[in-house]
Amino acid sequence: MWIFNLILFFIFIVAAVALFYFNQGAVLDNLSLGFKDYKEISTNFVIFETFLIGAFWAFLFSVVQEIRLRIRISKLKKANKRLHAELNQSRTKPLDDINLEEE
């Protein structure tokens, strides 16, 4: 699995370098974000900033998902301990109620 991740990372790096190389001289005349306007901004800068914002959001969502999963695992572990205790208790109950008559 690590070799697959390494190959994907390598492909990503090559694609990013190619993208930055081919957009080397490209400049956006006007970039409006709705609340602020930018004049004469590099395309590479916009691409890089967009990537950083996307990476931040992905990190944020993965942290929230990890917290939810850990809480769920904790609840399941508590339920598992409770069920094991109940099972052990029923194993050690005296067998007074069972009728062991020979025929």
Verdict on whether the full-model pTM lies above 0.75: no
| Mean pLDDT, the chain, whole residue set | 87
Give backbone dihedrals phi and psi of 74, rounded to 5 degrees, phi first: -60, -45
- Tell me how long the chain is: 103
By the 8 A CB rule, do 46 and 33 touch?
no
Give the alpha-carbon dihedral of 96, 98, 99, 103, to 10 degrees.
-140
pLDDT of residue 19: 86
pLDDT tens per residue across span 56-78: 999 999 999 999 999 999 999 99
